[in-house]
Amino acid sequence: MAREIISSGNVLAAMAAIDAGCRFFGGYPITPSSEIAHEMSVRLPKVGGTFIQAEDEIAGISTALGASMSGVKAMTNTSGPGMSLKAEQIGLGFITEVPLVITNVMRGGPSTGLPTRVQQSDVMMAKYPTHGDYKSVTVCAGNLDECYTEVVRAFNIAEELMTPVIVLLDETIGHMVGKAVLPDIEEVEKSIVNRAEPDPSIPKDKFLPYDVPNDKPAVLPKFFQGYHYHITGLHHGPSGFPTEDAKICQDLIERLHRKIDARRKDLLDSYEEYKLDDAEYLIVCYGSVSLSAREAIDRLRKESKKVGMFRPKTLWPSPEEKIAELGERFDADKILMPELNMGQYIDEVERCMKKRPVALNKANGRPITPAEIIEKLKEMGI
């Protein structure tokens, strides 16, 4: 039976982490995400977990990575400036294949920007949060319910693919308080994914954590279980020890890409379609902007204006085949893309559709309202 709760998006994200099995949090307070850390500090000790407020963002993610290496589900939390500071350790998570969930409650930027205001400022940063060559995974909550469900999904993806996963919220949805309808806790528990365990038939002194097929994630045993292997930020071979062998290095980076691509359709592709069946105009949006888009669509439908919405829940890798399909159905001048930035995801939509939607951009810390969406659509001729 579904649970109904009055809460904020940030608190719901913390609840989801606990329910998903997170037992370690390492981070540092930063507006507008600090409520997640605060809630974790209250909830984790009650379930036998550990909360550490580190001296800075770098130490926060470092402790979380260390906890995850020991076999504990771990999380860190931040906003835009903190993502900049965490960048190097995110890269360590990618190359060592250590699962980690990173919630990023977006605010205005760059630099200190607008700490208490909303912006979808980190969408491209979420695709490439660190240097090097890799493939990232980013999910994006679009309402209060998803501040919970997308965090649970992020933990499952991180554990299955052995990779850091970024969850994007934003100031609007993080601080919004309202009714959320959550899945029953037993349903959540049944959905939980835990990282793969080593094959018990392989002697512990012979086990190679990175000796896996070319489209599979590493299998990292928990620390202190008698296994002997190496973790390094350098390119490495099957044992984890550094190497500069050309073939081994190429195979490693290709596998980091392939393990994501291999599960894109069944694990990662996730999106919402709203009143699209008979739509003549299309709104493509994500995150909290979708709340305004829904309201605009409902108002226009009362005027017999046929508008629908497509909203990706997984931003990276994008649901490119579905976006391409919509591009075949709608002309460019009948597709509107509102974003709380100067256009960060529209290039990806254009890449998939082979056409560029009409943009509606706002980067002054204020939400895009339903009225602004309606006005833009009327300019487009609806």
Tell me the pLDDT tens digit for each residue of 305-351: 999 999 999 999 999 999 999 999 999 999 999 999 999 999 999 99
CA dist., res. 222 & res. 57, Å (int): 25
CA dist., res. 62 & res. 89, Å (int): 7
Which residue in the block uniquely carries the two structure tokens 């392939």?
Answer: 258
Domain ranges for the chain: 3-191, 274-379
pLDDT over 90 at 88, yes or no: yes
Confidence of residue 183 (pLDDT cuts 50, 70, 90): very high
**Section 223-237 average pLDDT:** 94
DSSP-assigned beta bridge partners for residue 180: 5
CA dist., res. 239 & res. 206, Å (int): 9
**Section 99-123 average pLDDT:** 98
Tell me the pLDDT tens digit for each residue of 40-54: 999 999 999 999 999
Give the predicted TM-score (pTM) of the model: 0.97
Judge if 3-191 and 274-379 fold alike in CATH terms: yes
CATH code for the domain defined by 3-191: 3.40.50.970
DSSP-assigned beta bridge partners for residue 170: 106
Work out the percent of the chain whose per-residue pLDDT is above 90: 99
Confidence of residue 167 (pLDDT cuts 50, 70, 90): very high
pLDDT over 90 at 13, yes or no: yes
CA dist., res. 238 & res. 236, Å (int): 7
- Across the chain, mean pLDDT equals 97
Structure confidence at residue 1 (pLDDT): 78
Structure confidence at residue 152 (pLDDT): 98
DSSP element (H, E) containing 52: strand 50-53
SS (H, E, C) 316-378: ECCCHHHHHHHHHHCCHHHEEEEECCCCCCHHHHHHHHCCCCEEEECCCCCCCCHHHHHHHHH
Phi, psi of 170 (to 5 degrees): -145, 170
Structure confidence at residue 227 (pLDDT): 93
CATH code for the domain defined by 274-379: 3.40.50.920
**Section 192-214 average pLDDT:** 96
DSSP element (H, E) containing 271: strand 271-274
Confidence of residue 260 (pLDDT cuts 50, 70, 90): very high
